[in-house]
Amino acid sequence: MVEDLYIKKVLNGDTEAFRYFVTAYKNMAFSVAVSVVKDEFTAADVVQESFLKAFENLKSFEGKSKFSTWFIRIVINESFKIVQWKKVQYTNVEFELEDVSKDGLKEADQKFYVNEVLKIMSPNESLVLRLFYLNENSVKEICEMTGWDSSKVKVTMHRARKSMEEMLSKLLKKEVESLL
């Protein structure tokens, strides 16, 4: 596997080889971080810190899972550490992704409203939806990344879908009312 080759290069002193991982995972890491911390600038800091931690701890990567799973777990842990440190309070709200298209919105508008809702959802719910729907991770992979058991992932995903549906309908209703 290509990643194994780059890991060996980095561990053998070729620090430039770590750029492969930065290039390959920076967008996914940012997406996961912003789903938890809800702020793009803070998410960028989380991603940078996560890459530093991954680099410093690469020798502890045992290869029992994919590198991406191991790395995203670092991103998730760093994201929640920031949320706890800032003691940010998030409001739990609920939606369902499939219902967005029922309103006949353009794809760009759908993405805008879904992202707006993801910003105000609880970190756990936003994270699970991003990992499952946007990053297309399986429940098993999400369990590995978060350290949660499958029942917690499934329950959180169920609540997140309901939250997404409710929040989207409220948001779209406000938009329509503001146009009238």
Spell out the domain ranges in the chain.
Answer: 2-86, 97-179
CATH number of 2-86: 1.10.1740.10
CATH number of 97-179: 1.10.10.10
80 phi and psi angles, rounded to 5 deg: -70, -30
**Of 112, 176, 131, which is closest to residue 33 (Cα–Cα)?**
131
Residue written as token pair 């809702």? 117
- DSSP conformation letters of 93-159: -B--GGGGGGGT--HHHHHHHHHHHHHHS-HHHHHHHIIIIIS---HHHHHHHH---HHHHHHHHHH
| pLDDT value at residue 19 | 96
- Provide the whole-model pTM: 0.69
94 phi and psi angles, rounded to 5 deg: -140, 145
| pLDDT value at residue 87 | 52
**Do the domains 97-179 and 2-86 match in fold?**
no
Angstrom distance (rounded) from CA 42 to CA 51: 14
| pLDDT value at residue 133 | 86
Angstrom distance (rounded) from CA 99 to CA 94: 12
pLDDT digits 0-9 by tens, 108-151: 777 788 888 888 899 999 999 988 988 888 999 999 999 999 99
Return per-residue pLDDT of the chain as tens, 180 residues.
Answer: 788 999 999 999 999 999 999 999 999 999 999 999 988 999 999 999 999 999 999 999 988 889 999 999 999 999 998 887 765 333 333 344 444 444 456 667 777 888 888 888 999 999 999 889 888 889 999 999 999 999 999 999 999 999 988 888 888 887 777 776
| pLDDT value at residue 97 | 43
CB 65 within 8 A of CB 144: yes
Angstrom distance (rounded) from CA 57 to CA 60: 5
